[in-house]
A = this chain, B = another copy of it.
Amino acid sequence: MKKYSFMNDYSEIGHPRVLQALLDACKEQNKGYGLDKHSENAASLIKKKFSCPQADVHFLSGGTQTNMVGISYMLRPYEAVLCVGTGHINVHETGAIEASGHKIFTVKGREGKITCEEIISALRYHVDEHMVKIKTVYISNSTECGTIYSQKELKDIYDLCQKEGLYLFIDGARLSSALGSKDNDISCPFLASHCDMFYIGGTKIGLTSGEALVIVNESLKKDFRYQIKNKGAMLAKGFVLGVQFEEVFKDDLYFKMGEYENSLASYLQEELVKSGIKLANVSQTNQIFVIMEKTKIAKLNELYDFEKWADIDENHSSIRFVISFATPKEKVDELIQDIKNL
């Protein structure tokens, strides 16, 4: 029998409503390259939801691509992007940013989040033309550690960026999960008005693929479609993404999926803590990190797929369980029970 997987939140093709929307539009003829009415409508829904009527919205295929296309647009050849060491662009994108010609300068961060002190210190460190010039701050919400930024944190960072002439780029590969966290106090309009560019991840929350890149800063809009094509990221059938974003934004399905997976993840985290399982760190979203004995991990792995995260000591490792929009509660209950029985 096939093992159930808590490996990630992109194991299923997509939400049934999303697939149905594609099927419904199957016979239509649409204009190519994202210039169709579905993409236009999806963009409108997004701009309305985020209260940024002047923004430009572009639909791209995946997170690494969107980070690379967006960030490399912001930078001159000698400019660099700043992020925490655990940042996705720094660790898990096989040098895509560097392949576009730019250095990533890293600071340590705290629970996956960058601090204003670190930004200032990074700026002070770079004194002259023998070093790169930091121009963009990259953060992700939620972070690689499952944490989220608070309204105050985001405002402080953005204000600092504004003051220092930096761009703020928000990787929202798991934005649904971030905004759907019970700890979240950032509204959609607040987010959009506190950065220069952000994206709304679809791949990790029920779309077949797709990220909606939202350009808020007027000065970053010009010729952006050239940039997309130049990086091999323009889809002939852009409307395939348009139809899907339209579907999940027409009635907040996008956010409901995030709330669903978060609440289930939260339940899992609480139950495990109750059973005496130690957390690697407290998560606020749909990724739960626990520390277990390696022997128990091996046994659990016979029943479930999940990610091994890090070695803690000789006998312990941390592992990650991810809850997706499609995870049934009963699977989580089974998991909890099976862990208790180890």
Check A237/B10 contact, CB under 8 A, given A129-B226, A225-B129, A230-B78: yes
B14 in contact with A232 (CB, 8 Å): no
Q: Does chain B have a CB within 8 A of A115?
A: no
Interface string of A96-117 (1 = CB under 8 A from B): 1011111110000000000000
Check A16/B11 contact, CB under 8 A, given A77-B72, A94-B132, A98-B103: no
- Which A residues between 111 and 147 are near B, CB-CB below 8 angstroms? 129-133
Check A78/B94 contact, CB under 8 A, given A32-B10, A232-B231, A236-B10: yes
B residues in contact with A257, CB < 8 Å? none
- Which A residues between 198 and 215 are near B, CB-CB below 8 angstroms? 203-204, 208-209
Check A237/B209 contact, CB under 8 A, given A32-B7, A129-B94, A232-B68: yes
Can you list 16 pairs linking A and B with CB atoms under 8 Å apart?
A7-B32, A11-B31, A13-B22, A13-B30, A61-B61, A64-B229, A67-B232, A73-B77, A77-B95, A93-B229, A94-B129, A96-B230, A98-B102, A98-B132, A130-B229, A133-B223
Chain A residues within CB distance 8 Å of chain B: 2, 4-5, 7-8, 10-14, 16, 19-20, 22-23, 25-33, 61-65, 67-69, 72-73, 76-80, 91-96, 98-104, 129-133, 203-204, 208-209, 223, 225-237, 239-240, 243, 326
